[in-house]
Chains A and B, each alone.
Chain A
């Protein structure tokens, strides 16, 4: 019973009492429309809602910014529901919805009602639970409500940047041909050394200059073998390294960068694994190809920052998860105390490359350009540059990424990608 019911009851009662005390029969006449209105509502009061529902998504996995078509079909298993409001319960607020999620309808027994809408959600894994049904008599005196289960799950994959992978030089490569110089002679393109001619060597490999200098012997050029490598990507999901902004966070950029790097390395044929370190330790075992890309995308879709006292520093980073002497690519805004741990990882034989989204400029973009803020930003930039310099001194390659810039472009102009001659020129000038 709603407040409307009690209001009409009270009105009737009040008129009645006044009529009785004043002994005025004509006041009873005013009660008639109200009484009939109340009686009509009583006779049409809804019974218990008995609905079944199913939900269909046009895709269970989509990439960010792509709309999903949600179809909800509700069937009435009970008596007639005359004026019913059906409202779908969204798994995330706010979500961009194109279409109606709230419907006002009649549902006769045994009949179905179907509605559709498009929804666009940010990266993540979502569980649709059900919808809320509220049935009432035509005059809104009696209401019956129920939550109807209509489950479905949706994974929204992160968007990846189109990038070329940063150059890596792990100390150990795998046995298959790839793109990484393996520090062993064989068939390749880069010059590796000269050895004495052996019967069977192609004539075009003979190094005639060396042969002319040596007298009788012939010498052949050797080339460096190029192989695939193991690449372990570590995504820093510690809450203290994340910076939150009104509609985004630095972590979102890290996620996209990690996914883009994984995609780029997988495209080159490398074996790639993923470790998400922060809230807990999520891992995707090293693997190849498109399936591995899917596995990594799914893991990144569900990646969340979190606070875990045990994982506040990289001290417990389980690097043994990756093969020995392999390449580790860490995507992290970095903290000062990380230098020590990363240096230790490097001393264990791993090559470490850090892609570091710049938290200073990201956060500074949200402050007003006051003098004091500008000074603070300058100090923070200096502090960060010093930290990165210390890290480079330990032998860790760092790509400092200001997130408003294109990651592909930042990688392209990073020192490892530039020709040596240009680097010398830049150093001289």
Chain B
């Protein structure tokens, strides 16, 4: 079994445990079971090569984390759930690329190490920023929210325009 796959299992387990634990602590058992079922389906998808499923599973995990946070569940558990499901989604994609190659070569080993290092850095950075945000506790007033919204939409438009230009 490749390191990627091992880490995928670990990430998926972490996502299920984090989100499930959040819901269990709040005694919302049906949703905890739903998260576990989604995790189980993701595992089945890996074994049965359902390449469409990881994105669906990822969306459901994000929804579960968002709903949990809105419902006032433990934010650290929800954040861990998002980060771990993001890792599982990424690793499922990367594993599919690796699986397409039959023979393992030193080049693949190098690619795998680089990919995992990058993912680790990105997730660590993301979690750190998120933790800071949770500690600082930004209070959103209506005006701040409107300004932030405009900035977000504008930056997204700029990003898409820039990417379109570069791909031409």
Binding site for B on A (CB under 8 A): 1, 3-4, 7, 9, 11, 13-20, 22-30, 32-37, 40, 42, 45, 47, 82-83, 85, 100, 102-106, 113, 138-140, 142, 144
Structural contact, B58 and A33, CB atoms closer than 8 A: no
* A40 surroundings in chain B (CB, below 8 A): 118, 121-122
State which of A30, A35, A103 has its C-beta within 8 Å of the C-beta of B101.
A103
Majority-rule SS of B interface residues:
helix
Question: Which residues of chain B in 8-42 are interfacial with respect to chain A, using CB atoms and an 8 Å cutoff?
Answer: none
Complex Cα spacing A18 to B55, Å: 21
Among candidates A16, A34, A45, residue contacting B152 with C-beta atoms closer than 8 Å: A16
Q: How far is the CB of B33 from chain A (nearest CB, A)?
A: 22
Of B55, B86, B145, which is within 8 A of A37 by CB? Answer: B86
Cβ contact within 8 Å between B93 and A140: yes
Is the CB of B79 closer than 8 A to any CB of chain A? yes
Task: Check if B101 sits within 8 Å of A33, measured CB to CB.
Answer: no
In Å, the complex CA distance between A30 and B59 comes to: 13
Known: A25-B138, A25-B139, A102-B101. A36 touches B126 (CB 8 A): yes
Contact A106 B111 (CB under 8 A): yes
Instruction: Specify which chain B residues have a CB less than 8 angstroms from the CB of A28 in the assembled complex.
Output: 133, 138
CB distance from A207 to the nearest CB of B (A): 79
Considering the complex, give the chain A residue whose CB is closest to the CB of B142: A23
| Chain A proximity mask over B90-112: 1 for CB below 8 Å, otherwise 0 | 10011001101111010110110
| B44 interfacial by beta-carbon distance below 8 Å | no
- Pairwise interchain contact A29-B97, C-beta atoms closer than 8 A: no
What 19 additional pairs, Cβ within 8 angstroms, besides A7-B59, A11-B59, A144-B167? A1-B167, A14-B66, A16-B149, A22-B70, A23-B141, A24-B69, A25-B138, A25-B139, A28-B138, A29-B133, A30-B82, A30-B130, A32-B130, A33-B130, A45-B166, A103-B105, A104-B111, A105-B107, A106-B107
Tell me, in angstroms, the Cα distance from A27 to B71 when the chains sit together: 11
Could you pull out 26 A-B pairs where Cβ atoms are within 8 angstroms?
A1-B163, A7-B55, A11-B62, A15-B66, A18-B70, A19-B140, A20-B146, A26-B75, A27-B66, A29-B79, A29-B133, A32-B133, A33-B82, A33-B122, A33-B126, A34-B82, A37-B126, A42-B159, A82-B114, A83-B97, A100-B103, A104-B97, A104-B98, A139-B90, A139-B93, A142-B167
Residues of B within 8 A of A105 (CB): 107-108, 111
